[in-house]
Amino acid sequence: MKWFASLAAVSVVATACGGSSDSDSATEASPEPAAVQELVVGSGADPWIDSEGDRKRRPNYPLNADVCETLVHLGTNFELEPMLASKWELAGDNTYRFTLKDEVTFSDGRPLTAADVKSAIDYTVKEPSIGFSFLGAESTTIVDESTVDITPTKPNLRLVEQINHPTYAVISPDDDPLNDANVTCTGPFKVTSYTPEEKLVVERNEDYWGEPAKLDKITFRFFPDDTTRVLALQNGEVDLINDVPRGVLSNLESQPNTTIETSPVGNVTLMYVARRDAAGTPKTLADPLLRRAVAASMDTSAYVQGLLAGNAEEINTIAPPEVLGRFSDMVKGVDYDKEEAGRLLDQAGWTRQGDGIRSKDGKPLELTIVFGAPSDLVTAEFVQAQLREVGIDGKIQQLDAGAYREALNTGNYDLDISKPSQNDANPAFLLALRWYSGATGKNAKIISPGAGTTYDGLIDQTLQATDRTELQRIAAEAMHELVDVEVGGIPLSGNYRIFAMNDKVRGVELHPSGTNQRWATAFMAK
């Protein structure tokens, strides 16, 4: 199990903007800290307003305020590092044993125990359940005060790689984040206040068991509108904005006293393909010829180099290639070829009409394109234009959080534009979470190749693999099956996380997975 705790380093690319003096100061080895150590972060819309499941994970997910911690932590290289647990081992058939560190305490000074871990996982799996690792009410067993056994309800040897997800953060047994964001946890910060749709404020945990945070206070301010968020940085209302949309990046590149930093690729702009509705009725893209034609119509080079101005990577996989190790080349993707797309559509019986849109049996070839993040509008418009070139009429629908979730769960769409992140160490994380017929999410039945398929059989194998290299090989084979054969997911770009900040902000270690971002090393320079 040595690979679980690999600590290989991944460097963060940093570019200083706004003049040579700023560039020089941004590269100082040890800048002197400012007297006031307070950071204001301009984040996106309040992530806990529309989803009961996300409110249950406050303040850990999807915005991670570094208040609560998990048994293990996902490193920036997508491998695991010890956190609350000092060690772990496969203790028996489908059971993992975790030994807790002796020195860990909650922010109120109480020592962490195995009972706290059991309570937290039991809370996670209670309705509304937010777990995805096949855990149930009887999965967690206390061995002794510092040891806990966790047994999934079905074979799942990926548990350790999954349990780093903030979903499984340990909170005090008396807390209920669903109804009160002011939770007690073990992290370097603790919640001071939360004002819905306005801000979350955290302060340094003076009794933190590990290396103490350098900042005294972080205020996360919520900005639903990206332009307003950029203006807040330019006007000095915030010190840093996270996950900067590519569409507004050009507004910041020449901003004086501003630094742009990027992480390694952590998420992929992807089109999920709806094959059937929730009742199992086949949809237009149930036809494999149409799915391949859609993929072949996407000029991903023009998307990355043109629309995104090179601020992303061309990619064939539905997760960062790094997670597949040396097997990432097994996933080839569908090459951009408009002529081939046209031949596939002809073969499927869809012929061009006078307006350029194809039809069959008097029905025009229309596909509904949905997305939830406002910043994805430019991507939707790009996809719409690419489809139009081969004779497909794409109908764009920008949906609010509730309507978007409803569309995904019912199959009331054809293409869903999203940016799934690699949030745990399992190479098959997204494959099993989204497309596996045995996944717990409602959307799986809409997009999955289906039970009994080659794809599902490969995911079954990933759940039981014991060797890391073999796991990566099987995951790559499954991704090849999904992307190259089934065309169940169409990757458009591999994305960096981009932060823009006042050049007095130092020490921010960008994580490729936003849900695993930590803040304890950040500080304000003079």
pLDDT (tens digit per residue) in 405-445:
999 999 999 999 999 999 999 999 999 999 999 998 889 99
Please state, in angstroms and rounded to a whole number, the distance separating the CA atoms of residues 341 and 345.
6
Instruction: DSSP letter for 335, please.
Output: P
CB 295 within 8 A of CB 383: no
Instruction: DSSP letter for 351, please.
Output: E
Both tokens of 284, joined, read 């237009």
Q: pLDDT grade, residue 24 (50/70/90)?
A: very low
Q: 240-241 and 38-43 as β-strands: parallel, antiparallel, unpaired?
A: parallel
Q: 217-222 and 72-74 as β-strands: parallel, antiparallel, unpaired?
A: unpaired
Identify the pLDDT of residue 339.
98
Please state, in angstroms and rounded to a whole number, the distance separating the CA atoms of residues 352 and 392.
9
pLDDT > 80? residue 454: yes
pLDDT > 80? residue 223: yes
Average pLDDT on 123-132 reads 91
pLDDT > 80? residue 345: yes
Identify the pLDDT of residue 136.
94
**Terminal CA-to-CA distance of the chain, rounded, Å?**
44
Average pLDDT on 326-344 reads 98
Identify the pLDDT of residue 181.
95
pLDDT digits (tens, 9 = 90+) for 228-280: 999 999 999 999 999 888 777 877 888 889 999 999 999 999 999 999 999 99
CB 367 within 8 A of CB 383: no
pLDDT digits (tens, 9 = 90+) for 204-214: 999 999 999 99
pTM of the model: 0.86
DSSP string, 15-65: EEES-HHHHHHHT-SSPPBPS--EEEEEESS-TTSS-HHHHTTTTTSSS--
Strand partners, 141: 149
Q: Is the dihedral of CA 370, 374, 378, 381 positive or negative?
A: positive
Strand partners, 260: 15, 500
CB 432 within 8 A of CB 440: no
Reduced to 3 states (helix: H, G, I; strand: E, B; else coil), residue 494 is strand
Reduced to 3 states (helix: H, G, I; strand: E, B; else coil), residue 305 is helix
**Domains of the chain as residue ranges with CATH:** 31-239+504-524 (3.40.190.10), 265-494 (3.10.105.10)
Query: Of 276, 268, 254, nearest to 319 (Cα)?
Result: 268
- What percent of the chain is modeled with pLDDT above 70? 94
Both tokens of 23, joined, read 């560039």
Identify the pLDDT of residue 29.
64
Please state, in angstroms and rounded to a whole number, the distance separating the CA atoms of residues 231 and 228.
5
Alpha helices in 297-432 (DSSP H): 300-301, 338-347, 377-389, 401-410, 429-430
Residues with Cβ within 8 Å of residue 248, at least 6 apart in sequence = 226, 227, 230
Alpha helices in 63-109 (DSSP H): none
Average pLDDT on 162-191 reads 96
